[in-house]
Amino acid sequence: NEYQIAVIVGSLRQDSFNRKLAHAMVKLLPPGFSFKQIQIDDLPLYNQDDDSNPTEPVKRLKAEIGAAHGLLFVTPEYNRSIPGVLKNAIDHASRPYGQSAWSGKPAGVLGVSVGAIGTAMAQQHLRNILAYLDIPTLGQPEAFIQMKEGLFDANGDIGTDSRKFLQNWMDRYITWVEKHVSGA
């Protein structure tokens, strides 16, 4: 009985710290859960005129979100908000009106930044969007992560200083997903 978590990374950058974080979090998953990395870099800019005739990447995005049991957003902060590429993906899968792929999918929000506030402002903007889309989002623990030496170890796994914190975050997140998937 495998639960699939759709992972949406808000950076397209080759060496993205947020993508590294998303990959490192895989190792903290319990048995029975897997990550599906969602591709967003080939989505066109959202245009409402295309709602009735979506391109293949848009159809793929909606199918993948629709098939997921849970959502994990891992995003940088751009100018105190979320990157446009992430908003674009969110908008795509929310349409056509009444056919959103997001509704009811339990979500978690993570982000790593070079700045000291660790994407806190971006996460708050994202939570506002997720609330509107009827995505129940884990409130606590919050995770505002600053990119520092040792965050990742030589293998790309979460370093020892942050592992306990992020394992606890993951355990709470998984409990959140299970609660919503079982419909309790």
Q: Which residues bind ligand FNR (CB under 6 A)?
A: 11, 13, 16-18, 76-80, 113-115, 117
Least spacing, CB of residue 148 vs ligand FNR, in Å? 12
Shortest separation between residue 23's beta carbon and ligand FNR, angstroms: 12
In the complex, minimum distance from the CB of residue 137 to ligand FNR, in angstroms, rounded to a whole number: 20
Q: Residue 41 or 134: which CB sits closer to ligand FNR?
A: 41
Distance CA 39, CA 56 (A): 12
Closer residue to ligand FNR in complex, CB, 142/178: 142
CB of 80: closest distance to ligand FNR in angstroms?
A: 5
Contacts 24+ apart (CB under 8 A), 54-60: 58/92
Minimum Å gap between C-beta 6 and ligand FNR is 18
Pairing mode, strands 107-113 and 144-146:
parallel
DSSP helix/strand/coil, 137: strand
Please give the span between the terminal C-alpha atoms of the chain, in angstroms, as a whole number. Answer: 18
76, with CB counted inside 10 A (0-12, 13-18, 19+), is: buried
Closest to ligand FNR by CB, 110 or 177: 110
Nearer to ligand FNR, 88 or 178 (CB): 88
Over the range 34-64, which residues count as b (16 or more CB within 10 Å of their CB) and which as e? ebebbebeebeebeeeeeeebeebbeebbeb
Q: Looking at beta carbons only, is 114 or 131 nearer to ligand FNR?
A: 114
Residue of closest CB approach to ligand FNR: 115
